[in-house]
Amino acid sequence: MNPFGKNLNIKRRNDEPTEKEIFLDIVLIMDECWARTNHMEEVMKLGTADYEEPFYIVIENLIFLHYGEWKGNIILWWLFERFTEEGDLLPVELNDQDKNTTEEVFVETPEQLWELIKKIELK
């Protein structure tokens, strides 16, 4: 018997996923969940935020635990704040305090987000 219910289908992978594959899966699923939450709130007028918020908090905290505050903030910015209210893509602003420079980077895809996180890790 499945302890999570008869409608949940758990698929097991035969191969070990890479960190990148796991990251991309998480980001894509979170992005879809966030879009669905916003649709339910704005279009369908269903107040699900109070119900869903604890789940988002748990996931956000796990992201911070794994990636740290700086990278975690960039990941969460991409998930929740990368678009204006009109739907335009905003750049992430990266400040290099050692060189006293600022760079604006447009991150359109989870793949680009992964590359940005890896680039930051190298610095």
Q: Would you say residue 25 has pLDDT above 90?
A: yes
Given a cut of 90, is residue 13 above it in pLDDT? no
Stretch 42-63: mean pLDDT: 86
Task: Tell me how many domains the chain contains.
Answer: 1
- pLDDT score of 4: 61
| Residue 98 maps to a domain | yes
What is the residue range of 82's domain?
Answer: 19-122
In a domain, 48, yes or no: yes
In a domain, 5, yes or no: no
Residue 29 lies in a domain: yes
Quick check: is 7 in a domain?
no
Q: What pLDDT, on the 0 to 100 scale, is given for residue 27?
A: 96
In a domain, 3, yes or no: no
Provide mean pLDDT across the span 4-19. 75
Question: Is the confidence at residue 81, as pLDDT, over 60?
Answer: yes
Residues whose CB is less than 8 angstroms from the CB of residue 123 and which lie 6 or more positions away in sequence, other chains included: 96
Q: What is the pLDDT of residue 45?
A: 80
* Within a domain: 62: yes
Q: Whose CA is closest to 113, among 84, 85, 73?
A: 73
Strands, E assignment, the chain = 92-96, 101-105
